[in-house]
Amino acid sequence: MINLMLNSETNEMVALKKSVYAFDNCVDAKRVLHEIKLLPYLHHENVSFALM
């Protein structure tokens, strides 16, 4: 699910990807972990990496 959110630090609208049931099955879990591993390598001004 992708949500549009307001960044309270910069007052900019940002897209937030939320994976609710990401680890319910092996295939989805591997897909999410693969995306998380790739995020730091995407050096673009529109891509940020935050894990909470």
18 Cβ contact partners less than 8 Å away, ≥ 6 residues apart: 1, 2, 3
Instruction: Kindly give the parts of the chain with pLDDT less than 70.
Output: 46, 48-52
- The values of phi and psi at residue 11, to 5°, are 55, 30
CA quadruple 18, 24, 30, 35: dihedral, nearest 10: 0
State the pLDDT at residue 26: 93
State the pLDDT at residue 46: 67
Averaged pLDDT of the chain: 81
Whole-structure pTM value:
0.56
